[in-house]
Amino acid sequence: MSDCTWLSDRMPTVALGQGDWTADEVQHLSGCPSCRREWELVRATSRLGDRPAAEVDIPSLAQAVLHRLGRSTGPQRKWKVWRFAALAAAAALVGVLWTGRSEQPLPGSASAPIVAGLQIPLPELDELRPEELDSVLRGMDQPAPDVDTLETTDPGVMESPEPETVYDYWEG
């Protein structure tokens, strides 16, 4: 390998500050115009773009890249997207079930206006003091435990065949 080729291979190392010229190399450089021009070129290239690159805001860049990766559906983050989707679906299901349940008339609240309108005499309640009566009424307002209840008197919407049989029997 000639000295010029050797020097050419060494140039990036020295230009990037990862090594120094030896005395022999310095001597060759001073006497070889071709190597000197190449050295100027490599040295200028090693610094090219330092200023604009230094103006790139690295913390903001890292934040922006991570933000985009978080929203992307790339392979590295698919599991996170699926986990989030599963949680969202579960939350939606619970919400639907809860809403549906609360829209059903509760036995206590549904029956209260009917009972009030019927004017049925309840002498036991007449004997109660106001605070005892309040306690009983509060108890009636609590939701009943899960039991099968007949919420409608319309036989057309009954699903069980048994009440239909009773109805038919009534009608004769």
Applying the rule CB under 8 A, the residues between 10 and 29 that interact with other proteins are 10-13, 15-16, 18
Kindly tell me which residue out of 21, 29, 32, 46 binds other proteins, with binding defined by CB under 8 A: 46
Report in angstroms how near the CB of residue 136 gets to other proteins at its nearest: 58
- 53-82 binders of other proteins (CB under 8 A): 53-59, 61-66, 68-69, 72, 74-76
Which residues touch 143 (CB under 8 Å, ≥6 apart)? Answer: 106, 107, 108
Query: From residue 150, how far is each of 45, 133, 145 by CA, in Å?
Result: 87, 27, 14
**Would you say 42 and 12 are in contact if contact means Cβ atoms under 8 Å apart?**
yes
Amino acid at position 73, single letter: T
* 28 Cβ neighbours under 8 A, 6+ residues apart: 3, 4, 7, 35
* Six token digits for residue 38: 């190449």
Is position 4 an interface residue for other proteins (rule: CB under 8 A)?
no
Closer Cβ to other proteins, 6 or 98, answer by number: 6
Q: Which residues of this protein are in contact with other proteins, per CB under 8 A?
A: 1, 6, 8-13, 15-16, 18, 34, 37-38, 40-42, 44-46, 48-59, 61-66, 68-69, 72, 74-76
